[in-house]
Amino acid sequence: MNAVASLSENSPFVIAKFGGTSVANYAAMNKSADVVLSNKNVRVVVLSASAGITNLLVELSEGCDADKRNELLQKVQDIQYAIIDNLQHAEVIREEINRLLENIAHLADSASLATSDALTDEMVSHGELMSTLLFVEILRERGANSHWFDVRKVMKTNSSFGRAEPGLQQLKESAQHLLLPRLQNDLIITQGFIGQDSKARTTTLGRGGSDYTAALLAEVLNLSRVDIWTDVPGIYTTDPRVVPAAQRIDEIAFDEAAEMATFGAKILHPATLLPAVRAGIPVFVGSSKEPEAGGTLVCDRTENPPQYRALTLRRKQTLLTLHSLKMLHARGFLAEIFTILLRHNISVDLITTSEVSVALTLDTTGSTSTNGSLLTNALMTELSALCRVEVEENLALVAIIGNKLSQVNGLGKQIFGALESFNIRMISYGASNHNMCLLVPGDNAEEIVRTLHSNLFE
């Protein structure tokens, strides 16, 4: 017991998380295995599903006819078999994967009769279960003492399917009992993104939740670093696919990176940094395809942080504008609105108000089980009884991330001068020192990001 205690006080070990593109196929998995085996301090590995699998499973969980089901199931099988066919001893692993594929087919049949958020979570969890089984086999063929571990044994969550939240104390106790003693000698391979509720039903932590899994495990096991391996060598001033001139950020503070993640930078899951910040654990982001290219270190603080750090883009934003003369010099109107939204489990992103109206943005990205729309008939009926409702969709959120932005003279001219030829639908500024948010038409979003990047960073 003393050995475990001393290990938990000052663990030199690292947890490595690999995203879907890093385990997309046999070649990618071997590249990721190279990364794991090159660092003897990597003791826990968290994997996403192979690229494309989660989307296929989500589509199956939404229910479809027999022909479409067979087509989607075949695609899932093909991705897994393409990896298995490259293994030297494939018989046992093929049986295990076939068992999981049969489960998927059974769940798909059930979904064609009736869908549910619980079924969706059960379905999509199979992506991570399969990728981790295959990765263990690849590591074993290379002589590593690797062991498969079902993360659901420790990741106990509430029953909010699609966006479940783990219980931290229970996770800590379970992980220190079941995982910590094994780190000295074993390499543990486990699943990101999934958990289990009190009724032993599989849950998911929301799209991108594998990062969150890795950071939570690092926190409760008191590890020294979280390495997040993806297809991009670090965090950039904006998405390099939108702006080829984007520059890599070598070091970034937790609060800046958290703002980036919250406002749409896909490189990190928004909740990832919370456990890392709590425990003061640095997070490294690099590319599994070219680990030698370096990456970005996310840490407590950086020297001389710049005024402008990055631009982020989040698509699929919905704007609700609520008009009512009852707002004029009245008390409690906003409380009524937020009570209705709470009842429908909707969180508001940005908000601006006038005397007789309030505008709210809703983020429709991030959950496995919202199916793209938060605006149910029941919600619209309740809101319409209280006020006149306008809905605008196909908007995008562009966030300027920086430091002490609310203290900068001439900020408005720098930003809006550059964007004088574009329509800005809504502005949110002043609540944070680290961001200014612009709601813009979705069709103009990329051009706006390119224009701002050219003016602020190039």
Task: Tell me whether residue 308 is annotated as binding.
Answer: no
Taking the C-alpha atoms of residue 393 and residue 175, their distance in angstroms, rounded to an integer, is 43
Task: Tell me whether residue 231 is annotated as binding.
Answer: yes
The 10 Å Cβ neighbour count of residue 162 is: 20
Taking the C-alpha atoms of residue 366 and residue 396, their distance in angstroms, rounded to an integer, is 15
Task: Tell me whether residue 172 is annotated as binding.
Answer: no
Task: Tell me whether residue 209 is annotated as binding.
Answer: no
Structure tokens at 219: 């926190």
Query: SS3 for the chain, per residue?
Result: CHHHHHHHHCCCCEEEEECHHHHCCHHHHHHHHHHHHCCCCEEEEEECCCCCHHHHHHHHHCCCCHHHHHHHHHHHHHHHHHHHCCCCCCHHHHHHHHHHHHHHHHHHHHHHHCCCHHHHHHHHHHHHHHHHHHHHHHHHHCCCCEEEECHHHCCEECCCCCCCCECHHHHHHHHHHHCHHHCCCCEEEEECCEEECCCCCEEECCCCHHHHHHHHHHHHHCCCEEEEEECCCCEECCCCCCCCCCCEECEEEHHHHHHHHHCCCCCCCCCCHHHHHHHCCCEEEEECCCHHHCEEEEECCCCCCCCEEEEEEEEEEEEEEEECHHHCCCCCHHHHHHHHHHHCCCCCCCEEECCCEEEEEEECCCCCCCCCCCCCHHHHHHHHHHCEEEEEEEEEEEEEEECCHHHCCCHHHHHHHHCCCCCCCEEEECCCCCEEEEEEEHHHHHHHHHHHHHHHCC
Residue 359 forms beta bridges with which residues?
A: 321, 352
Task: Tell me whether residue 135 is annotated as binding.
Answer: no
Task: Tell me whether residue 207 is annotated as binding.
Answer: no
Structure tokens at 12: 């030199």
Task: Tell me whether residue 20 is annotated as binding.
Answer: yes
Structure tokens at 260: 């980036």
Task: Tell me whether residue 17 is annotated as binding.
Answer: yes
Q: Tell how strand 295-299 and strand 251-253 pair up.
A: parallel
Task: Tell me whether residue 195 is annotated as binding.
Answer: no
Task: Tell me whether residue 19 is annotated as binding.
Answer: yes
Q: Pick out the residues of the known binding site.
A: 17-20, 54, 128, 230-231, 236, 241
Bind-site residues for ATP: 17-20, 230-231, 236, 241
Annotated binding site for substrate: 54, 128
